[in-house]
Amino acid sequence: MRIMNYLLLFLRNQGYDDDDISVAAYGYKKVALFVVNILETLLIGLLFGCVKELSLFLVFFVPLRIFAGGFHFDKLWKCEILSSLIIVVCAIIINNSKSVEFGFFIYLFILLVCFIIHLLFAPQDSDNKRLFYEEKKRYKKIVYTLLFFYTVILFVARLMASKPNGILIPLLLAMTVSGLSVSENVLYERIRHKIQ
């Protein structure tokens, strides 16, 4: 926080107005949070012995989460706790999947369910991040492109890799976690609107 305060003070001394400074503060927080999440994932990956797989999970998950949206907590600390738990659960699943080869139809079923959830409900906005109509249209196209790209990766990895779980499990976990977040937000929004 001190570094941010110095940065904001520096910007104020350079003559930037309050709007520019608030945009800079928001950007700084986002970058800092992203770096912390990467370091946290690497640490959990080291502890569980699956740095490569968790890194792949992030590579697949982050773009999907950005454009598909999903549930957001009202407090940052709640989001951080849930994110940490998700990474730990993913690490446990990755470690347990190393000794088990799932059947192709299990992969296909998970892929199909996640695909349908994203096609029907993504992108999801929330109170913390409302999307305009044009943004929703653009995000939907990006989500469709990501889903297509991920599906191709799944099939190619399944057909060509000698140990496909190294890429399939992180990719399926990314799609599953994103699908759950999108579904959770749909349910939350429906319940909230019925209560109001």
- Contact (CB, 8 A) for 123 and 67: yes
CA 160/CA 21 separation, integer angstroms = 50
Give residue 35's pLDDT: 85
Q: Is residue 4 within a helix (H) or strand (E), and if so which, with residue range? A: helix 2-13
List the beta bridge partners of residue 124: 69
Tell me the chain's radius of gyration from C-alpha atoms. Answer: 19
**Domain map of the chain by residue range?**
51-75+97-195
Give the chain's mean pLDDT: 82
- pLDDT, tens digit, 9 for 90 and up, residues 140-190: 999 999 999 998 888 888 777 666 667 888 998 999 999 988 888 878 777
Distances (CA, A) of 193 to 99, 117, 180, 190: 45, 21, 20, 5
> What does the DSSP 8-state code read for residue 71?
-
Confidence band, pLDDT 50/70/90 cuts, at residue 82:
confident
Q: Retrieve residue 120's tokens.
A: 């029907």
> What does the DSSP 8-state code read for residue 126?
B
Give residue 4's pLDDT: 66
Burial class (CB in 10 A: 0-12, 13-18, 19+), 14: exposed
List the beta bridge partners of residue 69: 124
Mean local confidence (pLDDT), 39-49: 92
Place of tokens 């609107």: 193
pTM for this predicted structure: 0.81
* CB atoms inside a 10 Å sphere around CB 173: 24
pLDDT above 70 for 128: no
